[in-house]
Structures are given as C-alpha cells and as structure tokens.
Amino acid sequence: MPVTRLLRQVAGQMLGSPACGCWTATPLLQFLGTSPRQIPADASFHSASFSGTDQPRVLITGGLGQLGVGLANLLRKRFEKDNVILSDIRKPPDHIFHSGPFIYSDILDYKNLREIVVNNRITWLFHYSALLSAVGEANVSLARAVNITGLHNVLDVAAEHNLRLFVPSTIGAFGPTSPRNPTPDLCVQRPRTIYGVSKVHAELMGEYYHHRYGLDFRCLRYPGIISADSQPGGGTTDYAVQIFHDALKNGKFECNLKPSTRLPMMYIDDCLRATLEVMEAPAESLSMRTYNINAMSFTPEDLAQEVLKHIPEFQITYNVDSVRQAIADSWPMNFDDSNARKDWGWKHDFDLPELVTTMLNFHGSDTRVAQAN
C-alpha cells in the first residue's frame, strides 16, 4: 500500500495528527516522490493576496493536527490571515477551510513541497506532521517514513530557500537512562520508541544544518500538551485530555497509566505562545537551538483530585496499558526549562488549577449545549 494512502487511513483514525510533527524526504541531491500528483501552489488558495512586506509568509505542515489549527489562528492574528497557509494531506472541515488559506501538501513529495515554498514565497515553516508515541509503536515503518524521511525534505527545502524552520520535539526524546527529575536541556537521551528516536534525529539534524549550512533552525521540546478543542490523537499523555470528556459525560474515567505516573504537562495556549516567542526571538539571544519548555508536572491522581474539586461525584479507575506505561516510565517527570526562561524570557501562564478550570468550563459549556439541543 502506498505510504500516503496508509497515512490517510491512520490520520483518519487519529482525528488529527497530534502535538508534534514531521514528514518529508531526502537531501538536496535527489528525491523520488511518493505522491502521484503535483498541486499548483494556488490550487486551493482562496485568499491569495498578501500584505505587509516585512511580515513572514508562513507554511504549517500537518496542519490539521492538535496544534496546527490553533497555531494558524494565533499567527493569523499576528501576521494577517493571508500570510499563513495551513496544509495537510487530508480534506479540512469547512470552518477550517474558510478561516484562511489552506493547501494540499504531501511532505513526502519533495517537488510538491518545494513548489509550495517557491510559489507562495514562504519565509517561515512550521513542521507539524508526525505519528505520536503509541501510534508509532503500532506501525514503525510508517512512523519511520513520516517522522524521519519526511524531515529530510523539510530540512533541504528550508536550507535551499533560506527559511526560518521550526520543528517541535518532545518529552519522548528522552529515555530511561536520562535524568528524570528534572531533565536538563543537555543530557543522555537514548529514547526507546520510534517517535522518540525520530525526534532526537530531528534535533541533531536541525543543529547540523544550522552549523553546516546556516539554517535558522529552532526547536522546542514540548511536554504533554492539553487542549480543550481537540480530540486525543494517540499519545501517551492523552489521558490528561480524555479525563475531562469522560468526567463531564459519564462522571467517571478509566486511566491507562498508574496513578503515580508523573509527567510534565502544558496547556495549549502556553504551548502556542512559546512557539511564536521562540520564532520571534533574536538569533543572538539563542544559546542553543533546542530548548525544553515546561509549565507544570502532575500525576493522574493529582489531576483527578483537582477534578474532584469541581465534580464531587467524579470517580477514576485504573486499567494500566503496559505499552503506554513503559513509555511513560522512560520519560522525564519534570523538565528543567531554565535556559528558555533566561535566553528569551519564557514564562507560562497556566498551572494545574487554571488548567482544570479552563478545560471543565470549555467542555461543560459544550455538554450543556448538547443537552439543551
């Protein structure tokens, strides 16, 4: 089965290619594309006029995932709607398509990606296509193609056209031999998932391209990202999103991690703001190209206790998934993000109480509307 077709099937099951992302293929020397089609850059570009000559022209790959749409909304407020192009291999819902420029982009097709960058005069590229931890372990060959082969195309196009490139990394880039509490920016990594391995590869390749070719590569290691308006997408930290859906709908939740499993977490608004801030930071302020960022660290038991303050009848049970538990046990318990705070002024807004209140208010209003209807 062609990789792209298999990808569409996995993407459909995931309801959105989650928090972090990658996909593309090969070096500046050559590429054999996997997509049978080449899409002209203005094919679905229903808002093609740009304004503001000093503003970046942005492309977001894997844009229909957990972070892509939210990032596009933030960047469109900052740089004007028509300067930010969302892309994916899936057809967008109507509200996303009509919210601003959307284009088909198969990052495993180097020629397609290059045409989009050239024809739309892209200057910033956010690379958000990946299979996450648990999904990647279920399909290693596809994760290797998307997360590693895809990255090479993005790096080459970015270097060739002098782009500022953002590639997200993850807590999954660390392994069981890494210091876990706290985990510094620079330490032994050695992850044991294809997702984690691909992210270490992305960090190192990005830094290599920066030193070898002068590529303006920037990377943040995201903790678990919690967002109110997206569905879980196959990650190990997804319990911290699903718990709110189930608490309001059923009054109970079955967690697939042990109650004492501590992981670093962040609300999506902090994550998106950090991403924009590091991209806007002056190059001379960056002492490194890959930074940890963090907001809070909690366990399923901590989260359940906070939910109980709002829903006294809430009940949580545990049915541990051995694969996800093993992944979580190899990840950091807490991130040291002191370099990000020192170099470019990173500061989070949401702690656990604010996170829980925000999530319950969002889903509670949705639940009340559904009941009324």
User: Can you give the pLDDT at residue 7?
Assistant: 54
CB 100 within 8 A of CB 72: yes
> Would 29 be classed as within a structural domain?
no
Read off the pLDDT band of 53 (50, 70, 90). low
Backbone angles phi, psi at 42, to 5 degrees: -105, 15
Handedness of CA 136, 211, 179, 221 (dihedral sign): negative
User: Can you give the pLDDT at residue 266?
Assistant: 97
> Would 290 be classed as within a structural domain?
yes
The span from the CA of 125 to the CA of 39, in Å, is: 18
> Would 35 be classed as within a structural domain?
no
Instruction: Examine the pLDDT at 192 and tell me if it is beyond 70.
Output: yes
Q: Residue 144 to residues 16, 141, 198, 328: CA-CA distances in angstroms?
A: 18, 5, 7, 21
Helix/strand/coil percent split, the chain, to 5? 45, 15, 40
Six token digits for residue 340 = 């990000």
Total structural domains within the chain: 1
CB 40 within 8 A of CB 175: no
User: Can you give the pLDDT at residue 8?
Assistant: 55
> Would 176 be classed as within a structural domain?
yes
Reported in sequence order, the residue ranges of 197-241 that DSSP labels E, i.e. its strands, are: 216-222, 224-226
The average pLDDT across 151-175 equals 96
Instruction: Examine the pLDDT at 152 and tell me if it is beyond 50.
Output: yes
The span from the CA of 220 to the CA of 354, in Å, is: 23
The span from the CA of 100 to the CA of 75, in Å, is: 11
Read off the pLDDT band of 138 (50, 70, 90). confident
pLDDT digits (tens, 9 = 90+) for 80-94: 999 999 999 999 999
pLDDT digits (tens, 9 = 90+) for 122-137: 999 999 988 877 788 8
Percent of the chain, pLDDT > 70? 83
Q: At what angle do helices 110-119 and 150-160 cross, to 10 degrees?
A: 30
The average pLDDT across 193-213 equals 96
Which one of 195, 239, 267, 291 is the catalytic residue?
195
Strand partners, 224: 265
> Would 66 be classed as within a structural domain?
no
Instruction: Examine the pLDDT at 288 and tell me if it is beyond 80.
Output: yes
For residue 265, give the CATH number of its domain.
3.40.50.720
Residue partners of 218: CB distance under 8 A and separation at least 6: 164, 165, 166, 167, 278, 279, 286, 289
Q: At what angle do helices 300-308 and 239-249 cross, to 10 degrees?
A: 30
Residue partners of 114: CB distance under 8 A and separation at least 6: 157, 160
User: Can you give the pLDDT at residue 127?
Assistant: 97
Instruction: Examine the pLDDT at 36 and tell me if it is beyond 80.
Output: no
> Would 235 be classed as within a structural domain?
yes
Q: Residue 85 to residues 101, 126, 180: CA-CA distances in angstroms?
A: 5, 10, 38
Higher pLDDT residue, 53 or 72? 72
User: Can you give the pLDDT at residue 18?
Assistant: 37
Average pLDDT value for the chain: 86
pLDDT digits (tens, 9 = 90+) for 208-258: 999 999 999 999 999 999 998 777 666 788 899 999 999 999 999 999 999
3-state DSSP call for residue 290?
A: strand
Active site residue 291: no
Q: Which domain holds residue 358?
A: 130-372
Read off the pLDDT band of 33 (50, 70, 90). very low
User: Can you give the pLDDT at residue 4?
Assistant: 52
The average pLDDT across 259-269 equals 97
> Would 293 be classed as within a structural domain?
yes
> Would 274 be classed as within a structural domain?
yes
Q: What is the largest CA-CA distance in the chain?
A: 61
Read off the pLDDT band of 14 (50, 70, 90). very low
- Using the structure block, give the residue that is written with the tokens 């782009």: 163
